Structures are given as C-alpha cells and as structure tokens.
C-alpha cells in the first residue's frame, strides 16, 4: 500500500511539474519554424539570422509571454537535452523575426534549433520539432575556387551557343556531409552523375551583377559515389543575352564564367575541397542558341549521351581558361528560388482560319511547353508562343514586338523524343506547332508553369463569379510576373523590373503570397542601382543606363521597405534600406527647391490613364507636377515615420518639419479655395485625398468633386498611378456606392471588361482588346501586366476588411472592418500572417449580417462597425457560446476588442443593399 502511494505521488508530481498543460486546459505547441522567412535554409550569410515561429492552439485569448531557444550541431544533441547554447527564458511576446543571439556563426555551419513558449496562463509548450539553418561562405577569402571560362571563344555578336563544362573526380573515404557552392556569369544548370542538382531554375538569379552576385548552396551528401562527374551548362541569360533596349546584348559583360566549390567533410574528421580550375573541360552541345526573349534552338543530333557521367570520354574536350572576376561581390541567395510550380494540360487543339495548328492552354501562363515528338532524323519542329488569337481566330504575335518567343527542335534518329528548354521562358496561352507531320496528340504536350516559389497566403471569394475571376486573374498576373524579380510583363522583348508597377501593387502582392524574402532581395538591388545623387532607376536591376527619377516609380525605394515592415513586422529592412530611402527623399527635396514644388522634370505620370493617348478625349491627363509633388509629400511622411521607428531623432525632426511645407505648397499651387484641383481628374483627387494633402476645411468639397466626376463618366478614368487608390479613396469619403459600381462595371473601361473578353490575367491596358475585337497599339499591349490588379488591396482590406495596424506591424494587432455592397451576398477571405491564419467572412441573412472571423494565437484584433451599438451585436465563439467582450463607441463607430480565437458576430444591416 505504501509503495502504491509513492507511485501515485510520483505520477502527480510528474503531471504537475512536467505537464502543466494537462491540468490547465488545451495544450499549446509551436510549429512553422522559419529562419529569414525560409524553411531550413541552406547557405545563408546573415551573421545574426532572424527566427520566427507560430503557436498552435484552439484556445481563445492566447498570448505568448515568454520563449526559450536552444541550438545544437545535431538533432541527437537536442534529443538528449545536450544543447550547445540556450537563450534561457526570455520574457517577451515576440515570435516573429527574433534575432539569433547565440555563439558567433562560422562558415559552412549547420545549426539545429528548437523553441518552446509560455502563455498567459503560465503554461509551457513542449520543445518544437527541430529546424535548421546552415551558413554559406561568410568571407570572400574562403573561396578557393577560380573563375573559369571557355578558351578563345569566337565573337558570337549576341548569338553565342551555351557552354558545356565537365569535371570527373574520385572519392575514397566515407562522407559525413558534402555541399556545393556555385554561381555563374550567365545562367547555369548543374548536373552530378547524370542528374540535375536541385530543383531551381534561372540560377544564380538576376541581381545588379556588378555589385551583387548570388551563389547557391546544394546538399549532395547522398548523391556522391566513388567515381563522380560534374556537368554544367552555361547560357547568356540576363548577363550576356539581349535584355532591355539600350544594348543589343552583353549588358553586364562579354564572357560567361563558372565558379564552383565542393566542400566535403569525411567521417574520419578530414576535409576535401574540389573547385573549378583549368582542369575542367568544356565543349559545345546540342543547345545551339538560347535567349530569354527569343527562345532556344536544340539539335538533338548533337546530343552527347552520358556527357555528365564519370565514364564519358571527354578526350576531345578542351581545357577551360581562368577568368579574372572579383569574388567580393558574392552573396548567398536570399530571395525565393524559381521552380517548376505546376503542370497544365492543353484544353484543346485549334485549327485557325490560316491553317495553323494551335494548342490552347486555357490560361495565360509563364513557363514553357514540354513535348514528346515523333519523326525523321533532321526534321525541324518549331514551337511559338502567344497570349491571344486575333479577331479572326488566328495566331497573334505582333504585341511581342521583336521577341521571337520560339523553341526550335531538330530531331535525331530516336523513335520518340522528349524535350523542354533549359534557359528561356515565355508568357503564353496559345502555342503554334510547326513541322509536326503526324496527327497532333494533345496528350504529348504539357505546359510547365514556373515562377518564384512563393507560398500562397491570401484568398478572396464572393457571390459574384466575375469578381472571383478577377481575383483569379490578379493571382495569375502576380505568379507570372514574379520570376526572381517583379517584371512588368513576361512575354515581349522587355520583362524588366519596372519600379512603378511593383510600387502600386506591393500591398496586394503581400496579401496574395508571402513576398517578404522576395522583396527583401529585390530592395537591395534598388539601393545597389540607385545613383549617387539619390535618383532611383526606372527598372531594377537597371539595364536602361541610369534612366530614372520618375515620380511614383522611384518611390518604390520608400514603399517596398515600408510594405514589408507593415505586413511582416520587419524592422530590419527599414534599417538596411534607410540610407536608400533617405537619399531618394533628399533627391526630391533638391529637385523641388525652396518652393517645395517638384516641377518640370520628366515623369511617366498617370501612365495609360483612360483617354490619355486619344485624340477624342484629354480629360484624364493629370498634371505630372501635381503627381510629383503629391508623391514628394507621401514619401516624406513615410520617411519621417521610419526615422522615428529607428530612433533617428535628427532625421525625424527634419522630415516631420519638411512634410507640412510640401503640403502647404501643394495646396497653394494645385487646390483652389473651393477645393477644386487644377487637374480635375479622378487621379488628382485620389492622390490628394488619400495622401492627406487636402486641408480639413476643403475635404468635403474635394470629395464631392471626385464623386461627381465618377458619376459624370460612369466609369474610372485612372491609369497606373490613380487606379490603386480610387476605390479606397471613394470608400474613405463615404461613397461605397461608387466604389462598388466601379468594381462591378462590365463595360470598358473597368476591371471586369477584360474578363468579359476572356482574360485570364490582368491586362496592361483597359482595352487591350477593343469591344469590336481589334487590338490596341501593339507597341504597348501586354495581356499579362499586374499593375491594375492593385484593386486586390481594396478587396482584402475593405470588402473583407482585413487591415494592418501600423502601430503593431506584422498583424500583431490588426483591424477587421468588413463592408457590404455591390450586390454581394457573401465574402470569404483570409490571410496567413506571421502569427497564423486570419479569416474574415460575412454573409447576409435577411436583414442581418453574420460575420465570422479568426484571430491567430499571440495576436489580437479590433472589429469595427459604423453606426452601431454594442447592444445590437451578439458575439459567440465557433460553438455558439456567448463571449464577454470589451468595446467602445466613439463618433458612431463600434470597436470590439478580441483576442485570439474563432468568433461569430450577428449584426443588423444598416445600409442600402443596392450599393
């Protein structure tokens, strides 16, 4: 009996001290561990990487009160509670971007880490499952490899064939671990023993190559044998191929180069390094030509079977030459890799009036076509890509301008041959097939969708199928144009990182996908290519020889870091980009001069506004000086906030004092005493009202002018600058009726008009295809241009009502303020924040709105409704249990404070449902 009592006491103590969760309710756990926004990243070079995690719990009002991190060099050490370092219990609610403060990191070092947390009920979680991060080469002097290139390359004048390299080597010891660190001048694909290494494409990515060149890290521990061979193909890519319109080719250089370092740790404690040097051999191969704009030519008759296998006879290959190129520009990959994301099957074969054989993929997409083909040796197959068919149903490529967008394949003697390109991509829905003599089998063709590997984070759907298609088009426009950098379009001879497009779309982009790492990488190139006087280039990376300084375009230097800070709670990006942000505002200050008006410089203005390039209507042309001065004020106000956040007191005072001077100058120059703007356009009013430039006593009058202009035309007249602000500005002045009218309009110009014309992505122009079926000017008529998709921000933040709180960035606290209108009967929307999933759903039930929301653990929200009293609202949890709530009611707005959990609110409707 006494022994049993002892056992009971032991069990009780074990439960009480070791498993307090069991006694105190639902257990909590920690999951989704990230390092620098990435899952188990290889080869990072951050000296103090940031760690993030999410708390998993179904409980209401759960908050983290403390955390502890521990690290080790193996999972076994963690398993047996023998960590190398522990942070100790840190009293903090921070679970996003927690800076690593452990021992100094060494090059090529893997760190395993775990975290556990305590909550506001004094419970602790178990240790999380281990995650890891691994450093790359942290110091340039650790690069033992030499740059190599081909010897005595013939001047191809822009038409060089890709280069094939190989190196065979033997290993005689048991391997503990093996890593490849590799980069190139040009694009590379790396092979080991006949297999492609990794699943990334278009490596090493596109950066400002002369200042920042990424390398990639690959774990090949399980891929090595006693006898081995590397194979590498190099192609011109962005480095030496045609890109932009300043030079015909070779913008960054005339010679391709390869740099590779294999580091092996053996189980006996010894190490070995195998590097690029002159012992590597090179040759030509079956890829005769490769160009991003024009496509590839592949001659299968020249294939070298097993060319990257150890036993291949390379006696006729030549030894490579050394290339003098610096290594101090090398950086670890920090963005998101480009990968194959999805396979898409053609929906039908079309035989056009001209007799062309055309595949319809059913979706405007980016990538290429993989195909299986049969024929005679020497037969030539040509695959050409296009976005649309013309009015008669024929294949249309005029809007591609000089881009040939063609893959050419020459058959060998094999009975069945499979092919997909290596170093090119296309924007297309339709594919024309030439040279196929046999009947076309639709199952022989597969579309390969490629883009940066962004994690989807947002969704929006509603009762209107056309708006759902609009959201679909916005998503696809982003996917198709986020290929290592945010391009303007993916199909014609451009595909550049236009800054204006990215600036206006940045918040929508961050709702749809996790773009934190993507934008962080690109922002560094914004700063790298910025001119010494602070001018920001039009495209990034800059291949237009320093052209830039255009208002709303160059303000990307301010807006992108600010967006990443607001959405992801990332203070570090503000620190790293601050000098760039400051330089841009200082540049504008210099250009504006003592009167604080930025005038007379060249700008793109409200690009492609309705009627701006038509002879029959000039009313939508907004004065460029007005736009420039408005953005001068807007960016200055943001910079002032950033300086305050970073505790830069002197700068904060400087820009806080500058902003009202710009506003005063703007008001005196561009706003009459009756509230009318000198440019009487929707864009002018949207800028002035949304940026806070209109004096308080004139806001109502200016708002009336805007509303009346929308009523007068019955449609939007805005371009790239005004469109992203229009609906939010109308909602902000209490004209939801007009905002929803613009959203649901189906005639040209509108967001839904392209959908009625069959669009599956966002168009560059409101009327890329005119109502009569003819096309707009082919010089500038992309059918995959995401900028007008910035309406997505309003759908998420206003219609669904998910609003960031700038005082608590990263959705640590946020607002939920949904709005009914447009004849919609329900909306379902959500966003995967750094803390977890946020949901905001509403549906109409007779004269009430049923609103359900989810607030993730360790965050909180304020739910807001206009003209409402708390007595009219009921709040329950997801099971229907009434919930005690804290609320306030000021100026007719009901604000309900909610902690984490799932809630259902029953609310009376007090609006006109015809809005």
Residue whose C-alpha is closest to residue 738's, from 759, 720, 716, 753 = 716
Q: CA gyration radius for the chain?
A: 29
Locate 269 and state its tokens: 């404690």
Our answer to whether residue 650 is catalytic in this structure is no
Residue whose C-alpha is closest to residue 765's, from 718, 731, 804, 798 = 718
Strand, helix or coil for residue 845 = strand
Give CA–CA dist 469/456, Å, rounded: 17
DSSP character string of 239-298: HHS--SSSSSS-SS-S--EEEEEEEEEETTS-EEEEE-STTSEEE--SEEEEETTTEEEE
Give CA–CA dist 237/292, Å, rounded: 6
Q: Three-class SS string for 893-904? A: EEEEEECCEEEE
Locate 673 and state its tokens: 């005493």
Buried b or exposed e, range 424-453, using 16+ CB within 10 angstroms? bbbbbbbbbbebbeeeeeeebbbbbbbbbb
From the candidates 36, 134, 387, 494, give the one annotated as an active-site residue: 494
Strands (E), 508-643: none
Buried b or exposed e, range 472-484, using 16+ CB within 10 angstroms? bbbbbbbbbbbbb
Our answer to whether residue 59 is catalytic in this structure is no
Give CA–CA dist 836/820, Å, rounded: 26
Q: Provide φ and ψ at 704, rounded to 5°.
A: -65, -40
Give CA–CA dist 743/527, Å, rounded: 36
Q: How is residue 750 annotated by DSSP?
A: S
CB 688 within 8 A of CB 701: no
Strand, helix or coil for residue 816 = strand
- Spell out the residues 6+ positions from residue 367 whose beta carbon is closer than 8 angstroms to its own: 340, 425, 426, 447, 448, 449, 450
- Spell out the residues 6+ positions from residue 908 whose beta carbon is closer than 8 angstroms to its own: 847, 848, 849, 868, 872, 873
Strands (E), 37-174: 42-44, 50-56, 64-72, 85-86, 90-91, 98-99, 110-119, 131-135, 148-149, 163-170
> How many Cα atoms sit within 13 Å of 648 on the Cβ side?
16
Buried b or exposed e, range 202-215, using 16+ CB within 10 angstroms? bbbbbbbbeebbbb
Report the Cα 57 to chain-centroid distance in Å: 29
Q: How is residue 797 annotated by DSSP?
A: I
CB 425 within 8 A of CB 366: yes
For CA atoms 527, 533, 536, 538, give the dihedral sign. negative
Give CA–CA dist 486/786, Å, rounded: 10
Residue whose C-alpha is closest to residue 831's, from 843, 814, 819 = 814
The size of the chain, in residues, is 915
Residue whose C-alpha is closest to residue 505's, from 479, 529, 527 = 479
Locate 629 and state its tokens: 């001065």
CB 478 within 8 A of CB 385: no
Q: CA distances (Å), 280 to each of 169, 276, 287, 319, 327, in order?
A: 10, 7, 20, 6, 19
From the candidates 623, 764, 793, 832, give the one annotated as an active-site residue: 764
Q: Catalytic residue positions?
A: 494, 764
């Amino acid at each position: 009996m006494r022994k049993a009592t002892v056992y009971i006491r032991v069990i009780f103590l074990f439960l009480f001290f070791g498993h307090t969760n069991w006694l105190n309710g639902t257990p909590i756990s920690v999951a989704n561990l990230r390092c620098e926004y990435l899952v188990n990243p290889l080869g990072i070079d951050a000296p103090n990487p940031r760690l993030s995690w999410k708390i998993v719990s179904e409980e209401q009002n759960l908050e983290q009160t403390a955390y502890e991190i521990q690290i080790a060099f193996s999972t076994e050490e963690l398993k047996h509670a023998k960590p190398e370092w522990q942070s100790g219990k840190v009293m903090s609610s921070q679970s996003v971007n927690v800076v690593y403060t452990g021992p100094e990191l060494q090059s090529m070092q893997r760190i395993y880490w775990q975290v556990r947390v305590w909550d506001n009920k004094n419970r602790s979680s178990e240790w999380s499952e281990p995650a890891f991060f691994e450093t790359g080469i942290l110091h340039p002097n650790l690069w033992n490899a030499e740059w190599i290139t081909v010897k005595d390359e013939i001047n191809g004048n822009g038409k060089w064939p890709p280069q094939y390299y190989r190196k065979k080597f033997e290993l005689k010891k048991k391997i503990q671990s093996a890593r490849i660190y590799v980069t190139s001048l040009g694009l590379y694909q790396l092979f080991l023993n006949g297999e492609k290494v990794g699943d990334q494409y278009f490596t090493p990515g596109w950066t400002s190559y002369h200042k920042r060149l990424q390398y990639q890290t690959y774990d090949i521990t399980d891929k090595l044998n006693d006898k081995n061979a590397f194979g590498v193909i190099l192609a011109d890519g962005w480095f030496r191929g045609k890109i932009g319109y300043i030079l015909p080719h070779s913008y960054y250089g005339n010679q391709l180069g390869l740099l590779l370092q294999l580091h092996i740790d053996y189980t006996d404690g010894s190490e070995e390094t195998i590097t690029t040097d002159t012992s590597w051999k090179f040759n030509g191969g079956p890829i005769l030509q490769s160009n991003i704009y024009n496509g590839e030519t592949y001659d299968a008759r020249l294939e070298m079977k097993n060319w990257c296998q150890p036993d291949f006879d390379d006696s006729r290959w030549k030894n490579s030459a050394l290339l003098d190129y610096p290594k101090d520009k090398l950086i670890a990959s920090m963005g998101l890799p480009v990968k194959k994301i999805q396979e898409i099957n053609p929906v039908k074969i079309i035989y056009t009036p001209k007799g062309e054989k055309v595949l319809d993929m059913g979706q405007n997409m980016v990538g290429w076509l993989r195909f299986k083909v049969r024929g005679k040796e020497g037969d030539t197959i040509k695959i050409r890509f296009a976005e649309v068919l013309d009015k008669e149903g024929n294949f249309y490529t005029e809007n591609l301008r000089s881009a040939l967008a063609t893959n050419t394949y020459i058959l060998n003697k094999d009975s069945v041959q499979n092919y997909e390109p290596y170093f090119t991509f296309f924007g297309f829905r339709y594919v024309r097939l030439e040279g196929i003599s046999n009947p076309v089998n639709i199952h022989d063709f597969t579309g390969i969708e490629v883009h940066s590997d962004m994690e989807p984070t947002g969704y929006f759907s509603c009762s209107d199928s056309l708006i759902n298609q609009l959201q679909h088009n916005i998503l696809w426009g982003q996917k198709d144009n986020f290929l290592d950098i945010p391009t303007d379009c993916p199909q014609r001879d451009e595909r550049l990182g236009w800054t204006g497009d990215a600036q206006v779309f940045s918040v929508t982009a961050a709702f749809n996908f996790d773009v934190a790492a993507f934008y962080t990488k690109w922002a560094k190139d914004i700063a790298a290519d910025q001119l010494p006087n602070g001018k920001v280039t039009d495209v990034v990376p800059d291949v237009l020889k320093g052209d830039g300084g255009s208002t709303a375009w160059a303000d990307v230097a301010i807006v992108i870091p600010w967006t990443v800070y607001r959405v992801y709670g990332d203070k570090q990006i503000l620190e790293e980009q601050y000098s760039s942000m400051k330089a841009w505002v200082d540049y504008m200050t210099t250009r504006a001069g003592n009167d604080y008006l930025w005038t007379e410089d060249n700008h793109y203005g409200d690009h492609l506004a309705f009627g701006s390039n038509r002879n029959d209507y000039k009313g939508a042309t907004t004065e460029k000086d007005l736009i420039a001065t408005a953005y001068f004020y807007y960016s200055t106000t943001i910079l002032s906030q950033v300086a305050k956040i970073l505790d830069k007191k002197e700068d904060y005072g400087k820009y806080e004092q500058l902003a009202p001077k710009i506003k005063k100058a703007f008001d005196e120059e561009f706003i009459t005493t009756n509230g009318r703007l000198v440019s009487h356009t929707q864009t002018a009013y949207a800028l002035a009202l949304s940026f806070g430039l209109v004096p308080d006593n004139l806001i109502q009058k200016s708002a009336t002018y805007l509303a009346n202009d929308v009523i007068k035309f019955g449609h939007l007249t805005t371009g790239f600058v005004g469109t992203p602000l229009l609906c939010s500005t109308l909602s902000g002045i209490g004209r939801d009726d007009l905002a929803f009218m613009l959203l649901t309009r189906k005639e040209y110009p509108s967001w839904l008009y392209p959908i009625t014309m069959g669009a599956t992505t966002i168009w560059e122009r409101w009327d890329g295809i005119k109502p009569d079926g003819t096309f707009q000017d082919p010089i500038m008529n992309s059918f995959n241009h995401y900028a007008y998709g910035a309406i997505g921000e309003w759908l998420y933040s206003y219609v669904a009502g998910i609003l960031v709180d700038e005082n608590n960035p990263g959705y640590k606290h946020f607002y939920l303020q949904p709005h009914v209108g447009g004849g919609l009967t329900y909306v379902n929307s959500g966003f995967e924040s750094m803390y977890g999933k946020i949901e905001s759903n509403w549906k109409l039930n007779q004269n009430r709105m049923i609103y359900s929301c989810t607030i993730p653990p360790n965050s909180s929200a304020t739910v807001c409704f206009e003209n409402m009293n708390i007595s009219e609202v009921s709040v329950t949890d997801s099971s229907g249990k009434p919930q005690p709530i804290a609320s306030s009611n000021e100026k007719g707005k009901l604000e309900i404070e909610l902690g984490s959990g799932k809630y259902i609110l029953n609310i009376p409707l007090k609006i006109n449902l015809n809005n």
